[in-house]
Structure 1
Amino acid sequence: TKVTQAHTYKDINKLDIDVKDVNVEFREGKNYSVRYEGAKSSSPTVKKFGNQLQIKGRLSSHSIRFNGMSMYDDYYRNSDRNKLIITLPKDSKLDELNLKLSDSLLSQVNMTGIEADQVKASIHDTKLDLRDANFGNVELSAGDSDISMTNTVLSNGKLDLNDTDVRLDGGSLMQVAMNITDGDVDYNNLSIQGGNLRNNDGDIKMSNTQIQGGYKIDDTDGDILVSRVTVDGYRVQSNDGDVRLFEQTTSNGNVLEKNSNSDNVLDIISNDGDITVN
């Protein structure tokens, strides 16, 4: 049975979303509102406590996954059929945004961005697709997911990711530590102020990026390609791999440096992989 539920609210500054097998869309509108379209068995409960809005999915204890489908009490459905639409007024800002998503897609439709002073998110088997967002004090954990952000600002936070690819195009990272186990990373057209990237198993690409305050990349097993980066100095080393720093080349444990005494250095090390900087 499919249902449609809609609620309208005022004065929301804290938003908690905890759903599974439900795609989440953020949209821009005149009022704060929540609209659910999909299977009745997955319809969330929505409660308001002061200025806090809590959205929690109702999950059956007899859920079975089969070829990308879910079964609740003999009802088969694809998660695309279940949609949670969150509407926020233009230029609104949340004090807190808390997300717990599984088997989901989070995206923005007809909306320039989401702004929140504090973000805590835990996602699994989920695609996160954001544009023009501005998140402070970020804590994000992800497993078996895909993260894509365009013109998005992340500041003062930590990302712990497992089996998750990351693609950042435009925007900035300010004092963000990113730890990844098994995932590829693609930075393009970013502004970076401090922070670091540690990858246990995956390739890393960085291009058209400006760095201030230094940045460190540590990749246990993977190739690293850096191009057209604005930074004052470099320190580059691979314990088992070929290394190129512009016209300099070396391999297997030797270090290449350029203006490495600067306070603004891109420090790159790989335990097993090639590194190319041009």
Structure 2
Amino acid sequence: MKKVKFMEKMKRRYLLVLVALVMVLIAGCTIQKSEKKADNISKILTNEAFNNVLLNTSDSDVIIQTGKNYQVKYHGSKKIEPSVEIKNGQLFVKQQGNVSSRNNFSEIVIIIPKAVKLTQLEIKAEEGDITATGINMNLGQLKSEEGDITLRDAKMTSGELSSEEGDITLKNSKIDKNLHASSSEGDVAVSETKFTGYNLSTEEGSIAVNGNRYASSSYKKHTASKNVLTVKSQEGDITVK
């Protein structure tokens, strides 16, 4: 009888400890969520006009798009809010630091009037994706270490797209001169964009041009022409159509 009472007593203690642990975990998650929510901001950084964009970000996705008015917006952790400066028509956006978890999503959005042609668009991102849609520019340089790069409906004299680990996509764009694209581990896909020459190479991936696959690690055609697409990849596939 004493043994039964002892066992029941131990069970009750065990249940009480278990309930206490669950309550502590729930309280910790609630506090963490509230802190994350309180730390996040949505903010318009500037509405001033500019003709150049020089952006350097450590932990945010970057979106460049057209609209009615100039605008730079930020959504994400206040701890890594980027600084913005416009000097002699040049927009400088700089973000330093990073947050510990990718659950803390952050995003920088730059809106440019559709009629504006940028002299230069230079984006450097460490971890975020870069997406540019409908932008008209002389020189475009989009670089990301870990993120994807997407350029759609663009008009560009010449440019460079570079990613270490992400994919690169170029679609429905007009490139007057040469374009260089490189990715160490990601795939490169080019569609609805005309070039007069090609210089494509990959070490471990495959190459396909207009539906035709090539067994060799390189594809070259009219490399001396004025409008050449140069793509270099180490492990990714290259597709042009």
* TM-score after normalising by structure 2: 0.63
The structure with the largest alpha-carbon Rg is 2
Query: Deviating runs (4+, > 6 A) in structure 1?
Result: 95-107
The residue that corresponds to 1:260 in the other structure is 223
CA drift at 1:95: 8.8
Highest relative contact order (Cα 8 Å, sep 6+), 1 or 2? 2
8 Å contact kept, 1:241–1:252: no
The residue that corresponds to 1:131 in the other structure is 111
**1:120 pairs with one of 92, 113, 120:** 92
Partner SS state of residue 273, structure 1 = coil
Q: 1:248 to 1:99 in 2, by over 3 A?
A: closer
- Once residues 211 and 250 of structure 1 are traced to their aligned partners in structure 2, the CA distance between those partners, rounded to angstroms, is 25
The residue that corresponds to 1:93 in the other structure is 49
- Once residues 201 and 46 of structure 2 are traced to their aligned partners in structure 1, the CA distance between those partners, rounded to angstroms, is 48
Structure 1: runs of 5 or more not aligned: 1-64, 71-75, 135-150
The residue that corresponds to 1:191 in the other structure is 155
Q: RMSD across aligned C-alpha pairs, in angstroms? A: 3.7
8 Å contact kept, 1:152–1:170: no
The residue that corresponds to 2:139 in the other structure is 175
- Once residues 215 and 91 of structure 2 are traced to their aligned partners in structure 1, the CA distance between those partners, rounded to angstroms, is 41
- Once residues 261 and 98 of structure 1 are traced to their aligned partners in structure 2, the CA distance between those partners, rounded to angstroms, is 31
Partner SS state of residue 147, structure 2 = coil
The residue that corresponds to 1:77 in the other structure is 38
- Once residues 223 and 147 of structure 2 are traced to their aligned partners in structure 1, the CA distance between those partners, rounded to angstroms, is 29
Amino acid in the other structure paired with 1:266: L
Q: Kindly indicate which of the two structures has a greater share of residues assigned to helix.
A: 2
Deviations 1:52-100 (A, max 9, x none): xxxxxxxxxxxxx944735xxxxx82424xx555685xxx635999999
Amino acid in the other structure paired with 1:129: V
Structure 2: runs of 5 or more not aligned: 1-30, 72-85, 99-105
Q: 1:243 to 1:170 in 2, by over 3 A?
A: same
Deviations 1:115-147 (A, max 9, x none): 86111111356311233358xxxxxxxxxxxxx
Partner SS state of residue 77, structure 1 = helix
8 Å contact kept, 2:130–2:142: no
Partner SS state of residue 195, structure 1 = strand
8 Å contact kept, 2:59–2:125: no
8 Å contact kept, 1:176–1:195: yes
Query: What pairs with 1:222-237 in structure 2 (closer than 5 Å)?
Result: 222-237=186-201
Identical aligned residues as a percent: 20
- Once residues 105 and 184 of structure 1 are traced to their aligned partners in structure 2, the CA distance between those partners, rounded to angstroms, is 10
- Once residues 248 and 213 of structure 1 are traced to their aligned partners in structure 2, the CA distance between those partners, rounded to angstroms, is 25
8 Å contact kept, 2:146–2:166: yes
Q: 1:113 to 1:161 in 2, by over 3 A?
A: same
The residue that corresponds to 2:181 in the other structure is 217
8 Å contact kept, 1:239–1:251: no
8 Å contact kept, 2:55–2:123: no
CA drift at 1:232: 2.0
8 Å contact kept, 1:223–1:273: yes
Aligned residues: 185
Amino acid in the other structure paired with 1:193: T
CA drift at 1:185: 1.2
- Once residues 227 and 161 of structure 1 are traced to their aligned partners in structure 2, the CA distance between those partners, rounded to angstroms, is 24
- Once residues 102 and 271 of structure 1 are traced to their aligned partners in structure 2, the CA distance between those partners, rounded to angstroms, is 24
